[in-house]
Amino acid sequence: MSLPEPTLTSLAASISDAAKGITKYLEDNGHPAPSFQESGLERYPKDPQLLGLQFQLIEATSDLYHLALGPEMMVFMQPILFDFFSAVPLGGSASYSEIAVKTNLPESTVRRVLRHAMTMRLFEEKPPGSGNLTHTSTTAYVAKYPTWRSFLGHNLEDLRPGTLHVPESLRKFSAGKEKPSEEVLESGVSLADVDRLGYPTSCWEYLDRTPEGKPEGYRANRFAEAMQIASSTEAIKSSDLLTAFDWKSYGEATVVDVGGSAGHDAITLAKSFPALKLVVQDLQQNEAKFQSNLQPELASRISYQVHDFFSPQPVAADVYFLKMILHDWPNKDASSILRNLVPSLKSGARILLFENVIPPAFDGDGNRVLPAMVQRMFSAADLQMLTAFNSMERTLDEWKALLKEADESLEIRSVLSIPGAFQSIIEVALKK
């Protein structure tokens, strides 16, 4: 007989019962209460009665956390690769031997991996002991949307090896110094040398290389799809551009999308604001994709310009926008990118930075500005930038300092938050 499916309310009740039971046991037996204070309980007594309550609390809390996040957010944390997700049919089931064939792994290994995965509500054996694996809501989500597999692969296969080398990077290049290293080739990913070249290369060069036995552009394409997922879940979307800034007030303005890749954002703006003339700037390898995206009726108003943003800006424009560009670069490089825009800035021109602005943890009264879980997402993104590029996500004060480093004439005019997005729009202009 199958156990009833847990729900938010049943799990909350189980948590409440277990917490009350643990509290009563500790009080009755003269133990301090668990807390985050320095004097809090260090170790639970090894009593079978208490142990059962602890397990009840931990399991219910874990399941409640999973359901509260929902499949889309929970997928961010899932470690399974080898495409187990598509080895189990949606709406159906697969045996261990069938999954072994699909994943090209020994059946004994498949059983071991899935035995662990099921403790985290990833896949389910139905009925228990039958050997037939079905999806849970989380694994089904990944099976339905293949680009999520690219997101997991990029983070777990491409970038995770770099995390093992971050301590080495810090010891070699930052320990004992006033400021951390700002050299891209001294990052964890560079030191990992996943391709065994015998020398460090930048994360960008690494992502552009195709691993042996994989189709051309394997890593680069997977990175592009991973960024689509990141944009769809937490970033400022192309549609947000339409309402986030008063584009109409500029009339027949020139807008430059610096590092604009295949031009998705510029195309969105051009469709809604026919007076705008847009220039998408990026490297040569993105031009073909841009041309394939460009509708003929927009070709007279959107152009592609091959440009390296470490070179002086060649276009005098009314607005320059950089979407999630500067967080990929340490301060010395990010300031150089900004500095190259300054000579082309005319009176009234704006630089719009679409970036994370890490909020303070607490306000002046000691209250949390955001839930700890949201703050953790910002800090996790920041450490990923450290791992990959020796770069960073920045606080408002750090953004101000970066502008000052780039050019004393730059100042922040406004910071606009977008509902549902982690990123903000930082409006930058020349000082009056």
Residues carrying an active site annotation = 327
Q: Which helix (H) or strand (E) holds 329?
A: none
417 forms bridges with which residues in the sheet?
Answer: 424
Measure the CA–CA gap between 330 and 299, rounded to whole angstroms: 35
Closest CA to 109 of 75, 155, 101: 101
Handedness of CA 162, 168, 171, 172 (dihedral sign): negative
Phi-psi region of 123 (alpha: psi -120 to 50; beta: other; left: phi over 0): left
273 Cβ contact partners less than 8 Å away, ≥ 6 residues apart: 247, 248
* Residue 431 near residue 407 (C-beta atoms within 8 A): no
Measure the CA–CA gap between 257 and 72, rounded to whole angstroms: 30
CB atoms within 10 A of CB 142: 25
* Residue 113 near residue 80 (C-beta atoms within 8 A): yes
Closest CA to 424 of 236, 188, 250: 236
CB atoms within 10 A of CB 193: 16
